[in-house]
Amino acid sequence: MDDDRRLSRHLTDSSRRGFLGVTGAAFTLAFGARLADPWTPSAPAARSADYPFQLGVASGDPLTDSVVLWTRLAAKPLEPLGGMPYARQRVDWEVAEDERFTRRVRQGSTWATPEYGHSVHVEARGLRPGREYFYRFRTGREISPVGRTKTAPEHTGLLKLAFASCASWPDGFYTAYRHLAEENPDVVFHLGDYLYEYGILADGGRRKTPVPDQFRVQCDTLDRYRIQYGLYKSDPDLQAAHQAAPWIVTWDDHEVLDNYAAEVGPGGNVSEQDFLVIRANAYRAFWENQPLRLPQRPQGPEARLYRRFRFGGLAEFNVLDGRQYRSDQLCGDGQQVGCDERLDPSRTMLGDEQERWLLDGLGRSRATWNVLAQQVAISQLDFDPAAPQRLSMDLWDGYKAARDRIFTGIVDRKVRNPVVLTGDIHYNLAGELKADFDDPDSATIGIELVGTSISSGGNGNPATGLPPGGRDAVNPHIRFSSYTRGYVSCEVTPQQWRTDFRVVPYVDRPGAPVETKATFTTLDGHPGLNTGA
């Protein structure tokens, strides 16, 4: 059997039938008997030195009847093969309605193969909509931590979500992920820069945690990207966040190389052919390490990551890929004055196919809230307090005609309550999307919520920024900004979208408390930001 067919078989839970039909009962007993109560600290918490579940567990991409369950076997997470033998290994999995696994609803068995870094992607099917489930894995005598997940609802009047981005490991601790986990959201969106490709100093940067020599050089080959994920995913706070809720992930640039655009690598010193090899390695490692389905699995340097999720009639999420298909950044990238080429209508951020897919989907949607979960700021951001405007060529400002097509498409299709979720810039921002950003009196067509970084940039500066409800002189559509670390928590009902910007005061040491820096509400049918709950 070739690689593809074997994998696609492993990714479904079809093998479950064999278990239930022939050995199901015995298997259930064996699995259950060994683990009386996994939540009790005295349960098999004494992990062996070569415990294979050191990267934790995760779930993702929830549909009404299924969810992806993920783990990756690694006894030594900082080694290319995770310290596992170069051989496939059997992994059992089970899903239950309760965290003690007394009401088991699904189970099965699959293979972790060295070709995929011993990762496991199980699509658990036949689940009920809008329900909480618990899952775990077993290989040999070892049992994984228990994860909590939740399927998408068919109907709902309440959705609690969180979104996050930009988590450079050497820049600081993942305390914000820990607080996010404690909120037990229904779903978590990750908007990219989950991992940075850079080499890491011997002392682990701000973490002052030594890392081996192999981490000094930048990521390029698949083995190198794999150990980078091994390091990142060893973090207990990140593991807690994955364990708490299903994630829906997209990527930005640093999952590959800084500010790449389609087939163009950074610096102009990597040929297109070489860059596409790096991109293929990066995409592959990303898929191996995230709870994604088979259709998202890369074929070499190409991967279909953009996709859509519905949470009843309440909200529809368009998860975008703003890197793989975009036109190259203009005028040397960075912030530029002038650079009228940015107005060129042939420039694209999403590529023609994804752009059409997005607008078609928005046009068809019946949801109350229509969300773009994506990478870079879509609002105009003028970085110069004086005239003329200084705009960043990496953001949608460098792709103005493409943004105008999206905005016009939204207005033409009378899309209900557009909400854009953004990461990338290590800043909290809340803004109103204007039909014409240069005319403050033009129509407000939706809102943008930019979430700051989890750790990238270090501690930040809480004294910086625009208080909630204020107006920035040169960017009057921006109503709040804050250079702090954290994530964003949202509570969505048919009547309103409530946003809490959650921040931590420091990341250079663990244990920071969390507080709400700003709260906004947006009412159904009234695009704009109101301060407070």
Partner 1 sequence: MKSRRLTLALAAVAAVAVAGPVVATAQSGEDPGPAVRTPAQAVGPIDQPEPAVKIGPAHGRGNGKQKVVPVADTERIQVVAGGDPGCPAAVQVGMRNQTKKDVYSDMTVEFDGPLTPSRPMLSSYLPAGYELGAKLLLTAPQQATPGDYSLKLDVAGEDLTVPVSVVALDDIENGGNLALRRPATASSTVLSGNYPACGAVDGDSTSDGWAGGNGWNDGTSRVWPDTFDVTLDGPHQLSRVDLYTLDTERYPAAKYGLRDWDVQVRAGGQWQTVAQVRGNVAGLVSSRFTPVTADAIRILTLGSNSGDYSRIIEVEAYE
Type and span of the H or E element at 239:
helix 236-244
In whole angstroms, how close is the CB of 14 to partner 1 at the nearest point?
Answer: 25
Return the residues of window 331-370 that contact partner 1 according to CB under 8 A.
Answer: 332-335
For residues 172 and 312, which CB has a smaller minimum distance to partner 1 in the complex?
Answer: 172
In whole angstroms, how close is the CB of 207 to partner 1 at the nearest point?
Answer: 9
Strand runs labelled E in 73-182: 89-96, 104-112, 119-124, 132-139, 142-143, 147-150, 159-164
In whole angstroms, how close is the CB of 146 to partner 1 at the nearest point?
Answer: 31
Considering CB under 8 A, how many residues would be counted as binding partner 1? 91
Return the residues of window 374-413 that contact partner 1 according to CB under 8 A.
Answer: 376-377, 381-385, 392, 394-395
Is 324 an interacting residue with respect to partner 1 (CB under 8 A)? Answer: no
Is 199 an interacting residue with respect to partner 1 (CB under 8 A)? Answer: yes
Q: Classify 276 as helix, strand or coil.
A: helix
Structure tokens at 380: 């105009």
Is 458 an interacting residue with respect to partner 1 (CB under 8 A)? Answer: yes
Is 270 an interacting residue with respect to partner 1 (CB under 8 A)? Answer: yes
In whole angstroms, how close is the CB of 69 to partner 1 at the nearest point?
Answer: 24
Question: Which region among 10-18, 55-63, 151-159, 222-230 touches partner 1 (by CB under 8 A)?
Answer: 222-230
Whole-number Å distance between alpha carbons of 229 and 108: 26
Q: Which of 135, 189, 427, 520 binds partner 1 (CB under 8 A)?
A: 427
Phi, psi of 521 (to 5 degrees): -125, 145
For residue 69, what are the contacts with CB-CB under 8 A and spacing of at least 6? Answer: 57, 58, 59, 93, 95, 120, 121, 122, 123, 124, 135, 137, 147, 149, 291
Q: Classify 7 as helix, strand or coil.
A: helix
Q: Could you give the angle at which helices 400-412 and 352-364 cross, rounded to 10 degrees? A: 20
In whole angstroms, how close is the CB of 311 to partner 1 at the nearest point?
Answer: 30
Is 198 an interacting residue with respect to partner 1 (CB under 8 A)? Answer: yes
Is 81 an interacting residue with respect to partner 1 (CB under 8 A)? Answer: yes
Return the residues of window 14-73 that contact partner 1 according to CB under 8 A.
Answer: none
Q: Classify 490 as helix, strand or coil.
A: strand
For residues 183 and 382, which CB has a smaller minimum distance to partner 1 in the complex?
Answer: 382
Is 264 an interacting residue with respect to partner 1 (CB under 8 A)? Answer: yes
Mind spelling out the 3-state secondary structure of 289-319?
Answer: CCCCCHHHCCECCECCCCEEEEECCCEEEEE
Is 300 an interacting residue with respect to partner 1 (CB under 8 A)? Answer: yes
In the 8-state DSSP scheme, what is residue 254? T
For residues 127 and 200, which CB has a smaller minimum distance to partner 1 in the complex?
Answer: 200
CA–chain centroid gap for 156, Å, is 23
Q: Which of 277, 294, 401, 411 binds partner 1 (CB under 8 A)?
A: 277
Return the residues of window 105-144 that contact partner 1 according to CB under 8 A.
Answer: 114-115
Whole-number Å distance between alpha carbons of 196 and 205: 13
Question: Which region among 102-110, 149-157, 421-429, 511-519 touches partner 1 (by CB under 8 A)?
Answer: 421-429
Q: Which of 59, 175, 243, 475 binds partner 1 (CB under 8 A)?
A: 475
Alpha carbons within 13 A on the beta-carbon side of 344: 16
Phi, psi of 307 (to 5 degrees): -165, 175
For residues 149 and 475, which CB has a smaller minimum distance to partner 1 in the complex?
Answer: 475
Is 220 an interacting residue with respect to partner 1 (CB under 8 A)? Answer: yes
In whole angstroms, how close is the CB of 97 to partner 1 at the nearest point?
Answer: 38
In whole angstroms, how close is the CB of 164 to partner 1 at the nearest point?
Answer: 15
Task: Identify the sign of the CA torsion 263, 268, 269, 271.
Answer: positive
For the chain, state the CA radius of gyration: 23
Question: Which region among 144-152, 176-184, 267-275, 403-411 touches partner 1 (by CB under 8 A)?
Answer: 267-275
